[in-house]
Amino acid sequence: MQKLACLALAALFLFAGCSSDTGIESTADDGGGTIGYSAMSFKNPFFVVIKENLEDAARAAGYELIANDADSDVSKQANHIDEFINKGVSAIVLNPTDKLAIGEAIKKANEAGIPVFTCDLQCTAEGVEIAGHIGTDNYQGGTLAGEAMLEILGDQGGEVLVLDYKQANSCVLRVDGFMDVINKHNEGEQGKITIVAEVNGGGDEDIGYKATTDILIANPNITGIFAINDPSALGAWKAIDEAGKTEQITIVGFDGAKAGKQAILEGKIYADPIQYPVRMGREIMAKILAYQNGEDFEAVELIPTTLYRKADAEMDPELQQ
């Protein structure tokens, strides 16, 4: 099915015109049209990288990009979609802030005949039409996170906190993959791993910090934390540092943004299944162009992750700049 429901016009939309939410302005050469991009949150560097590469690809194709920051607010993102419809954009690219609640706004774009593409995060609402999607194989990444946790706790076991973000389907899949590995491990006789809490880390450093701080009060013996992205992992590290538990608790994150890689280099995070936002930003634009030209393309594309540890960070040229 070539039209899915949350990935339309991402690579062409990033930064053209002035975003009312970000104040960022960029232009493109006169050409094909305008792409509207509503990012989940530019507080997360991951989405900034997608934006930058979408913008480059859009400009190269002669499109202007309008990039707005939804700041993890579904109502704000719905307003962005209304704005794009009113401007008559050629396509819309979204990182959905809520996999279900954004559905009604997407339906308006469908009715207006504007293709919607999703990038990184998918929309799972019924009755919506998504023209294309590119993202991470999040379940596979979650299994790698589970394997990393077994490297830490597999022999002795321990108590683990999971910082989730259920509004995003990608994050649900990450936790599913992680839990399947842990549950399979627990079928054995030794090193039982207990999930003492699964709480909302917001995909955000401040929320991850507060959630971890609160959980540590009730569960002082936690030895591992799985956080669904780098910002929430960094918030968790801040909380365990303040609690004096950095030697007791090991964190596994997810993303592989530069801040996360740096934290791995410094020993704050043990490992990350890493994603490829540069590729996402560029290839969503390729899907938009194929759609506009009536060409066949892979409607749903999931990119496998790789596990990134301290040894990888020590050899990473990005961290040596």
Q: Give me the DSSP letters along 240-298.
A: HHHTT-TTT-EEE--B--HHHHHHHHTTSS-BEEE--HHHHHHHHHHHHHHHHTT----
Give the DSSP H or E segment for 161.
strand 158-164
Amino acid found at 96: P
Amino acid letter, residue 254: F
How many other C-beta atoms lie within 10 A of the C-beta of residue 241?
A: 13
* Whether residues 219 and 159 fall in one domain: yes
Verify that 145 and 92 share a domain, yes or no: no
Both structure tokens of 123: 């929309």
> CATH number for the domain including 244?
3.40.50.2300
Is 142 part of a structural domain of the chain?
yes
Tell me, yes or no, whether 77 and 189 share the same domain: no
pLDDT, one tens digit per residue, over 228-272 is 999 999 999 999 999 999 999 999 999 998 999 999 999 999 999
Whether 222 maps to a domain, the answer reads: yes
Report pTM. 0.82
275 contacts 230 by C-beta, under 8 angstroms: no
Q: What pLDDT was estimated at residue 18?
A: 28
Question: Same domain for 128 and 243?
Answer: no
Instruction: Please check the confidence at residue 300 and state whether its pLDDT lies above 90.
Output: yes
- Do 186 and 295 belong to one domain? no
Instruction: Confirm whether 167 is domain-assigned.
Output: yes
Q: Same domain for 52 and 148?
A: no
pLDDT score at 31: 54
Q: In angstroms, what CA-CA distances link 2 with 115, 133, 135, 146?
A: 11, 10, 15, 32
User: How much of the chain, in percent, has pLDDT values that exceed 70?
Assistant: 90
Q: Does residue 204 share a domain with residue 157?
A: yes
Compute how many other C-beta atoms are within 10 angstroms of the C-beta atom of residue 16.
24
Q: Judge whether 6 lies within some domain.
A: no
Q: Is residue 77 part of a domain?
A: yes
pLDDT over 90, % of the chain = 85
- Cα 228 to chain centroid, rounded: 9
Same domain, 246 and 267: yes
Same domain? For 268 and 143 the reply is yes
- How much is the pLDDT for 189? 85
- Residue 29: the pLDDT is 38
For residue range 205-238, list pLDDT tens digits in order.
999 999 999 999 999 999 999 999 999 999 999 9
Whole-number Å distance between alpha carbons of 321 and 40? 28
Looking at the structure, tell me whether residues 80 and 121 fall in a common domain.
yes
Residue 308 lies in a domain: no
The pLDDT of residue 308 is 98
Whether 270 and 282 share a structural domain: no
Residues 291 and 231 in one domain: no
Q: In whole angstroms, give the CA distance from residue 128 to residue 4.
A: 7
Q: Is residue 314 part of a domain?
A: no
Q: How many domains does the chain have?
A: 2
Judge whether 14 and 67 are in contact, CB under 8 Å: yes
Domain of residue 263 covers 138-275
Q: Is residue 4 part of a domain?
A: no
> 150 vs 15, 55, 81, 250, 257, CA distance in Å?
42, 40, 43, 11, 23
Alpha carbon of residue 265 to chain centroid: 21
